[in-house]
Amino acid sequence: MWGYPDGDISEVHVDPLENISKPLHLTYHFHKDNFFRVPSSGANFRVLPPIQISGLSPANPRKGPRPLDVGPSIEQTFRAHIQFPATYNVTAPDSVRMVRDYGEYSSSYTLNKNVLDAERHLVLKVNELLPARRADYESFRNLSSRDVQQFLNCNIAPASAVAVVSASKLTGSAEELRKAGMAALERKDFATAADLLKRSLDQDASQKKAWEDLGLAYAALRRHDEAIAAFRKQIEADAFHARAHGDLAAELQQQSKFDEAVASYRKQVEITPDDKSAHKNLGLLLLQTHHEDEALTELETAASLPPDDPEVKIALSRLYAKNGNIAKGEALMKSVTGAASLTSGPDLYAASLRDDIDPRQTERDARQTLNNIGDQFDSGEFDRLGPSAFSAMNLVALAWARLGWAKFLQGETLEAMQFLNSSWILSQSGTVGNRLARLLEKEGQRDRARHTYALAFAAGGAEADASRQAVGRLAATPAAADKEIEQSANELHSARTVALPALVPGAVSANFALVFDSATKPERADFLDGDAALNAVGVQLQQKDYPVKFPDVSSVKLIRRGRLSCSNSKCNIELLPPESMNAGEIAPAAAKQ
């Protein structure tokens, strides 16, 4: 069916085709589980199929004016009536209407109390038009077939506490509970998913695939012992399951059971030899446990499988350098970071954002890194929010900074500003702040430049002294410069902190993982560790806006660690900057459990 892959169509009814004097009516029911991801922000979708009428052949001056073939004449009407849940905030396109003597087109979208009525209607009355009507017909055709204005936008809030409780009390057969559990897993409501899948398996423990899904739910909840038990049950039911051994290995690795994890990863690559993720994870773990020769084999295998993986490239570059193949290692490192030297010092940003870089090559390499990381998000590799997911944020920040600096050196100021600002907010790198301030100064924004230099000095790094001198150069007096510098550290901390009302009684704290998808509200807020009293406040955290910024539209998401602290009267959450990095410390993420 148009626009809706992988759904189920039933109750199809088509009018008799013999009676061509009457309009043809086609009706059907369409069902697709988890059509929307809940929660989500900025989801674009269509409810009506596109309308298309004939285009015109190019005019041929040699043949003289000829009638325009626009037929056949046609009338089409598409309607939809949809009721959205209360947690859906839908934005509909504007209504459109165009009337001509030869036809009419209209589209209307009416929202009332989250009930949408939509209609697209086209009438083409003729088969031919006079040649002089070419431009007018093209305008009519363009309006009627323009898909972009037929997209709706939807922001979907998490299910209410009442709805979650209702789902957890759901009863039914093992299959019904499994389907409901899968729906909860898809929308990343892991607690509900675990409850429903566990109850489904309590009814029928012989279900071959449900143990894997239960293990994934437990893993997301960081209930590692239960996840391991579920994955082992899945392997008992199906020893050649497509991914259970790899998922078991990841959980064993979380518990520092490295020998068992290596064995499970080896079993996974034996079952699925083209599983890039399994080769990568095995290679990184072997590297962490100082089995360099075996790690090299696995990482080279991972590198040979599409798509490219920046983390694999960096790990390989370190291994090549250690084995004496310096040139090969530096070439790989430069393609990802822009810094060829594997001993570039404590500030990789400074080595990557030099004035003498090749801006075009830098732009190509940075784009490739972002595309590769976007592919990893699309494949679901980072759904588990493991060490590699957090490590990738360093590479995102660096790629954005490299893109911004390359744009600046090519005179593309607006795009440079977007990428450098996004990288600065994510990385809090003093070098990135310095480059952003240089751009602002060049644009004549002296006050903003001076202030950004002060913040860059507070962030530290290799460019701290240069930023401090720039504040003094742009300040009205030395005293004013000193005051701005003095205030910058507190301001830097405040800029990444969000105030919240009291969420629980008492003085408690915890760490969370927040996942942002092209929006300032997170689509996920997962409890990592800390006081158990805060375990269930993720939904409240998802309602707030955070200081994050995306420079463009892509598949890349932002994964941020947040430190939530509460007293009796208020709470606040601080977005922690990614760990500082240099070329020798970026990878492997597997070593940072």
Per-residue pLDDT, averaged over 322-342, amounts to 86
Question: What's the chain's Rg over C-alpha atoms?
Answer: 29
Which of 350, 346, 271, 397 is closest to 581 using CA atoms? 346
Q: Can you tell me the distance from the alpha carbon of 95 to that of 106, in angstroms, rounded to the nearest whole number?
A: 7
Q: Is 290 inside any structural domain?
A: no
| Mean predicted confidence (pLDDT) in 556-578 | 94
* Domain boundary residue, one of 108, 125, 156: 156
Cα angle at 158 between 157 and 160, to 5 degrees?
110
The pLDDT of residue 338 is 86
Residue type, 166: S
- Domain assignment present for residue 471? The answer is no
pLDDT, one tens digit per residue, over 111-120 is 988 899 999 9
State residue 261's pLDDT score: 97
Q: Which tokens in the block code for residue 446? A: 């002296």
Taking residues 135-150, what's their average pLDDT? 77
Dist. CA 552–CA 555, nearest whole Å:
10
Report whether pLDDT(43) > 80.
no
Question: Token pair 């309006």 is at which residue?
Answer: 143
**For position 383, what pLDDT does the model report?**
86
The pLDDT score that the predictor gives to residue 587 is: 44
What average pLDDT does this structure show over 425-447? 97
| 398: in domain | no
**Residue 531 half-sphere exposure toward CB, CA atoms < 13 A:** 15
pLDDT, mean over the chain: 88
Give the pLDDT score at 519.
86
pLDDT, tens digit (0-9, with 9 covering 90-100), for 476-527: 999 999 999 999 999 999 999 999 999 999 999 999 999 998 889 998 899 9
For residue 589, pLDDT beyond 50: no
d(CA 120, CA 106): 6
In this predicted structure, what is the pLDDT of residue 206? Answer: 92
Task: Give per-residue pLDDT as tens, 200-211.
Answer: 999 999 998 899
Please, are residues 95 and 109 in contact by the beta-carbon 8 Å criterion?
Answer: yes
Q: What is the pTM of this model?
A: 0.73
Record the tokens describing residue 404, joined without a space. 């911004």
Contact, 506 vs 533, CB < 8 A? yes
Question: What pLDDT digit, counting tens, does each position of 340-367 carry?
Answer: 766 555 678 999 999 999 999 999 999 9
- What gap in Å lies between CA 471 and CA 422, rounded to an integer? 22
> Token digits for 143?
């309006």
In a domain, 90, yes or no: yes
8-state DSSP, 383: T
What CATH number should be reported for the domain holding residue 124? Answer: 2.60.120.1130
127, 156, 185 - which closes a domain: 156
* Residue range 250-298, pLDDT digits in tens: 999 999 999 999 999 999 999 999 999 999 999 999 999 999 999 999 9
Amino acid of residue 66: R
Percent of the chain beyond pLDDT 70? 90
> Position 425: which residue type?
I
Per the CB < 8 A criterion, the answer to whether 107 and 143 are in contact is no
Q: Which residues contact 64 (CB under 8 A, 6 or more apart)?
A: none
Q: What is the mean pLDDT of residues 164-174?
A: 72
pLDDT above 90 as % of the chain: 61
Predicted local distance difference test score (pLDDT) of residue 227: 97
Q: Quick one: pLDDT band at residue 48, thresholds 50, 70, 90?
A: confident
pLDDT tens digits for range 307-326? 889 999 999 998 999 999 99
Name the residue among 47, 51, 44, 67 with its Cα closest to residue 143.
51
Residue 463 located in a structural domain: no
Q: Among residues 156, 177, 201, which one ends one of the domains?
A: 156
Q: Confirm whether 40 is domain-assigned.
A: yes
349 within some domain: no
- Provide the 10 A C-beta neighbour count for residue 34: 12
Instruction: Give the Å distances, CA to CA, from 78 to 26, 101, 273.
Output: 10, 22, 48
570: in domain: yes
Structural domain containing residue 511: 497-576
pLDDT confidence of 34, banded at 50, 70, 90?
A: low
Total count of domains within the chain: 2
**How far apart, in whole angstroms, are the C-alpha atoms of residue 321 and residue 317?**
6
